[in-house]
Each structure stands twice: as C-alpha cells, then as structure tokens.
Structure 1
Amino acid sequence: MEDGRESPSLHLDLSNFEDGEGSRYVLTSPRSLEACARLGVRPVELLHKSMEEVREGNPGASGHQLNDLYVTQEIQRRRKLEMCRELRMELLQEDHQPDRTCSHSSRGHKDSPITADQHNPPTPFTDRWDPQGMGITGGSVTLQKSFSQGDLFQMEDKARRMARKVEREVWASVPDRDKKIGALMLLKHQEEETAKQRKFQAQQAWDNLKTEEQHIRAALDRQDWPIQLQNYRRRSWCSQLDWQVDPIHTSSHKAEQKTLLKYGLTKAMEDLKNKNTFHDSSSSQSLEERMIKAFKAKLIKELQDKKNVQMKNEYEKLRHSNLKEKVDNQAKAEERVKRVSIQQKEQRSQELQEKLVEQRNKGLHEKASREDELKLMAKLRAMRLEKEQMEHKKMLARLTDHKIQQATDTLEKSILSKAGRARELNFMKESVHQALKKKVDQEKEDQRREIAHVIRMKDQKSNKIRKEKEATVEEGRRIARASFHFREKIRQQTQSRTFDQMALQATLNASLLKTIP
C-alpha cells in the first residue's frame, strides 16, 4: 500500500496548476478560487485595469484625479493579489502534507471513502463576503480539494472488485491495463462531479456579487451631480479663457468697449443734466470737461498702443525681408560655387578620358605586333613538327613489317601445338563429364528425399501452430469479452462518455503526468 502511494505515474491531479504566475488570468484553479472566497475578494478585482478602463469608469474626473485613482486601484489590486497568492500557497502546502489522522489498516483504508470534509473542514468566510447575503450557508459550502493518492487507491480497489465480479461471470481474466484505466476513469468522473458542484457554487456567488455591484453603481450614478456641475463650470471657464486669448475676439471686444463707453458717458451726462437742473452751470461744465479729458486721455493711450503694435509689426516685416534677401544671396553664391566645381570636374574627366583612349590605342598597337610575332613562331614550329612526324611514320612502318613477319611465324607454330593440346583436353573433358553426371544424379535423389522429409515436418509444425493459434484466439475472445463487460460496468458508473474515449483521455493524462518532473 505504501509502495503504491510513492508511485508518481498513478498520481492524477488535473485541477491544480501551480505554473500560472506569468498569466494575466491566474484564477483558474480551485485553490485560487478558494483563497479568494476565504479573503472575501472578488476574482474580477485582481485583474489589471488600464488607464482607458479607469477613464471609462470615471468619465467626469480630470487627468490628475484619474492618475491618483489609477495608482490607488493598482496598489489595492497588488495587495489583494499578494494576499490571495500567499493563502493559495498555504492551501497547496496543506494538500502536499501527508494525512496524519488516518491510522487505519490497508483493508480499512480501501473500504472507507475519503471526502473533502475529512481533509479540510469548511472555513468560514470573512465579513466582506457574507455567505448568508448570497444564499450560501456555511454547512453547504464544500470546496473540495484535488484528489490525492488515497482516492486513487480507493478507485483501484473498486475497479478490482468490479473486475473480479466480471471474471466470475465470464470465466476470463480482465487485463491489468483495463483495471488501471478503469480506476483512473472512476477517479476522473468523481473529480468532474466535484468540479461541476464547485463551478455551480462559484457561479451563484458571482451572480450575487454582480447584482451587488450593479446596485452600488446605480447609487453612484445618482450621486454624480456635483461632479457634473464642476465639469460644466470648468468648461465655461476654459471657453472664456480661449475667447480672451483670441486676437480677433480681443479687437472686437475693444471696439464694443469703446462703443459702450461712449454710450455710457452720454447716458451719464444726460442723467447728470436731469438730476442737477438746479445746480449752477459752472459746476456742470467743469464735470463735463473732466469727463471729456479723461475719455480723450484713454482714447489717446489706446491709439498710442495700437500705433506701437503697428510699428512693431513693420519692424518684424522689415527684418524678415532682410533675412530672406540674405538667405537668397547666400543660396545664389552656393549655386555659383557648385556650378564652377561641376565645370572643373567635367574638364578633369575629359582630360582623363583622353589619356585613357591614348593608352588603350598604344596597348592595342603593341598587342597586334606581339600577335604577328607569335603567328610566325607558331608557323615555324608547325613545319618542324610535320617533318619530325613524317620521319617517325616511316620508322613505324618498318617496325610494323618486321613484327608482322615474326607474328606469322609464331602463329603457325602455335596452331600446331594448340591442335595437339585440344585433342588431349577433349578426352579429359569427356571423362570428367561422365563422372559429374553420375554425381549430379546422386545429389538430385538425395535432395528429393530431404525435401519430402522437410515437407512432412512443416505440415506437422503448421498443424501444431494452427491449434495453438486457435487456443490463443479463443483465450483472447474470452479476455475481450471480460474487458467489454468491465467497460460496460465502468460506463454505467460514470454515465458520461464511452469507455474508449475515457481510456484515451486517461492514457493522455497519465503520459502528461509522467513527463512532469
């Protein structure tokens, strides 16, 4: 039993993934969801939000407020994420620790089922996530962890009992491979059922959280009228600032001010005349003169300011025209310098081309003279070689005639000697042929008897193999029948996919577990 616990190839843990630190969505394992549930943190709060998402959630906030809000949310998110990771690591360490409370015998361990409540008692939630407000009681929350080696041994024992029952029914043994696959399928089915229950509970909690969030957002939407009023005031102030900075609006505003000033002065004078009818004429005249002088002084100051602006604009235009003229003169001078340099380069290139043509003509003349000299030398060598070849041919003809005469004499002698040797050789061949024919006939007879013996042995061996094959086929049929009944019982236990599909999935999972260090 202890040896089985130490076998890494039979460990099936498909619900726990520890290598998700680099992923953005880190809440895919049951341990992460359980950590969030214990801390009262919604999984969506651990996702990173960009500046655009923060701006969409707070449309009325300014740039500085958005930056502060973004930094605050990011600090809170990282703090919550670190807390969830620490709790998740603690849960993983609890999973890997051996169960010290189980002191039963091996038979008692096989017969007693292991549930999640025996390993992990239900942990109460914090105040931030009230299970009663969401319709989840503390007793009904059974967030079961991933199954351990003990669960696998329990499923193996159950599969062996089913296999023994099938063997008694069909009088054939079930293969060990089918037993192991059946145990894995039963364990996988149990994990799927637990995962479905856990998913349903998480979905129910998530729906409750979404409803609560919608209520909070609706309350916030009803309380955003001070922010909208502040945005309206900011937009009106910006529009006034733009109108004051625009020079066209400034000039028109000044003209309107002058008109209003004149109208105001006239209206004030009329009011003063109507109100001060009983005053003396000297005091009214002095007041009118002072107002006219003040208006004239203001008008003169405005005209002087306008004249200063015009003089400044004329000075800028004159300076710009001088700079433009200076740049044009400089560009013309540079163009003249470039044109002179181009002419000089063309002149140098023409002189260089003339020198190259002269050198090429001189080289061609020297080459023609050398070729004439080489032709003359080649002609002399050809004449000398032809003379030597004629002398060599005459010498070869004399040697050939001498060799032909010697060959004729030698051929006559060899023909006579070969005729004598041929007669002796024919006699020897005839005697050897008679001996070989007798030997071949004897070998054919021996080979025929040996082939007949081999055929008899092969017939006996083929009959024996056929009988063994029939027995093997019959045994295979019995094993296949037992395996089929065992698979049907496994399918009835799982009531999901076919046994072949589950066996293929289990084989793939087992191979993946073997590759994991």
Structure 2
Amino acid sequence: MVDPVPEEEKTGAEPGDSGGDEAAASVPPDAQGAQEPAASSASASAAVPRKAEVPCAAAEGGRREQSPLLHLDLFNFDCPEAEGSRYVLTSPRSLEACARCAVKPVELLPRALADLVREAPGRSMRVATGLYEAYEAERRAKLQQCRAERERIMREEKRRLFTPLGPAAAAAAAAAREEREAARRRQRQYERSEERRRELAERQGLLRRERAERTAREDRLRKLQQEQNLKQREEGLQEGRERAEQIRRERAQRAARAKQRQEGQLQREKRELSRAERARHEALLQGRARQQRQEREGLRNSLEASLGRAQENYEHLVEQRTRELRERARREELQGRRAKEAAERKEREHQAHLEALARAGERRLQHATQVAEEAVQQKARRVGQSRLEKERAQRANKEKVERDEDCRRRELLQAIGRKLERSEQLSRERRSALESARSTARASFHVREKVREETNTRSFDRMVREAQLHASLDRK
C-alpha cells in the first residue's frame, strides 16, 4: 500500500536527493513504473534514516547498490515486512496526518498481552486483560483518526493538482511543503528521542539483569549455606535420636525385668488368695447348706400350721356360706310373694283405671255430641241472623241508591235549568252589547263626520292663529 505522489512533489524535490534517482535507475525497466512513487517519497524524506539495506543486482553494471527506504504508511506499518524496522512510519502523508492529530507513531503499534503482564508483574491477569483492551480500543481510535486525516490530506493534494497554479496556489504548495518538512523534522526529533530512550532502557535492562544475576548468586550461596546448616542440624538430631533410642531400650529392659519380678510376686499372691478364697467359699457353702436345712424345716412347720388354720377357716366359711344361702333363699321367697301380691294389686288397679277411662270416654263422647249439636244449632241461628241482616242491608242500600238517584236527577234538572237561564242571560247580554256597540258606532260616525266637516272648513292660516292664541294664553 503506497501513497500516490502528486506532481508537485515530483517537481518540488530537492536537486541534492540523488540517492532516490539512483535507486530508481537501478530498478529494472518493467518495475520502474511501480517504483516511482517509492523513489519520490524517499527523495521527499531523504533526511529520515533507512531501515535496512539489501543488495540488488543491476541489469547493466552488475554492481550491488542499496535498496530504497521501505515505504511504511498507516496501512502497512504492522505488516510482517515492517518487523525489525527502526521507524514506525516513513510515508510523508502518514507522518503529516499523525502530526496534525498530535499522535506519536509509536502509539499506533499493537502491543501483546504478555508485554503488559511483564511491565506490571504485581497485577492479575484480569487487570492486564482490561488494560490491553483499553489500549487496543484507544489505538484503533487513534489509527482511524490518522487514516481519516491522511485521506483528507490526499484529497487536498488532488484538489491542488487539478487546480490551475497561481501565486496563491504556489504559496499554498510552499506552505504545505514547509509543513511536511516541519513534520519530518519533528518525526526525526521524536525518533532520536526514541533511540535515546531505547538505549537508556537497554542500559537499565542490563543493570537489572546484572542485579538479578547478583541476587541469584547471593540466593544460591544463601541456599547452600542453609542446606549445610540444615544438614548439620539433621546430623545432630540423628545423634540425639540414637542416644534417646539407646536410653529408651535400656529403660525398657529395666522395666521388663521389674515387670517380671512383679508378675512373679503377683502370681504368688494370687495363689495364696485363691487358696484362702476356696477355704472361705467352702465354709460359706457349709453354712449356707445348714441354713437351707433349717429354713426348710421351719417352712415345713409353718406350712403345716397354716394348712391346719386354712382347713378350719374353710370349714367356717362353708358353714357361713350355707347360712347365707338359706337366708338369701328365704328373702327371695318373701320377695317373690310380695312381688306377686304387688302384681295382683297393680292388675286390679289397672283394670279399675281402664274402666274409669272407659266411663270418662263415654261421658266425653256424650258431651262432645251435645256440644256439636249445640254448635250446629247456634251456627244455624247465626246463619239465619246473618241472612236477615244482609237482606236488611240490601234493602237499605237499595233505598239509599234510589234516594241518591233521585237527588242526582233533581240536581241535574236544576243544573240544566241554571244553564238555560245562563244562556238566556248571555243572549240578552249579547243583544245589549250589540245594541250598545251599534249606538257607539253611530255616535262615532256622527263625531267623525262632524270632525271632517270642521276640518274641511278650517284653513291653515286659521290654525296658525289659533295656535298663536293658545300660546299667548299659556304665557299669561
């Protein structure tokens, strides 16, 4: 990916940049057209150090010349061919875009996660991963911004190419060249500072490695000393354990001999105790046998005595039971007679009660029959009386209705008479009103005729004089 070089850069290249022309001349004719932009960019950035020099066979002279500077822009600076280069960018447009965006080219390089972990050994992998993601996001944003600025620069250059050259255009082109030169100078200063920083970092790394080696040697010596001390301590502990083991064995032997003596003494004591125990046990057995014989004899005597007492008690109980049975039989017989007498008495009382109930039922039946007959007769009397009362009420109602009809008929006749009188009075009033209206009409007719006659006889002058006369009379 190579930036196209405008015509003004080709024409505005300095005469002293002969390295680019020689490099272009050393390219074969079939690839010369493809190498022209690279040669022009190399001539424009002649002050920028080159990455590496590789031999190139010339077609005519066969001599080995240095290849032109590797063209690195914002699109191929991270390609495999750019690995090992001293510079990040060599394209003038890319450098100018970075300068306009205030972005250092080294900030566009991708970094590995292992580098972040190595720089901060105390951080965890999660923190290192977060830092890596943040760095990558910021790097991509800066790269996108620089690429957009580079596209803007290319559009400006194309616009200048297709715009007729004039004093203003020449001044703008000169200003643009000055800006590019200033950007290249800033880039060279930055790269020199980067070289110094790398050298300082290398020296610091060398010092750190020496310090680490010295620390490692000291650690190894300290470890050897500790191992020797540990070995001596283990040997001392082994000797102590051996002495303790020997003392323990001697003590165990003495304890075993003492234990054997104690066991012999205990066995003798046990034999003596067993003989004494057997003698005591035999004496106890003999005493227990005598005691058992005495207990059996006493038990036999007590059983015989208790058997005699039990026989006597049994005979006494049998006699008492016999007397009780006789007494109970006598009481039961007496109770049977009493119950029979009570049953007979209850039967007689029940029979008498039934007879009394039968007589009372007959009396109640007779009384009920009599009461029913009286009720029927009384009801018949009430029915007759109610019928008579209804007949009287019907006659009274009929008479009342007839009287009401007569009254209504008389009132109707009176109302008709009043209406006739009223109609006659109204007709008379109408006739009188008609006569009065006619007389009024005749009077008004005469008045109107009289007024008409007077109006016809009066003149305007007469009316004026009458008005003046009335006015003078009013003033007086």
Give the TM-score, by structure 2 length: 0.30
The higher-RCO structure (CA 8 Å, 6+ apart) is: 1
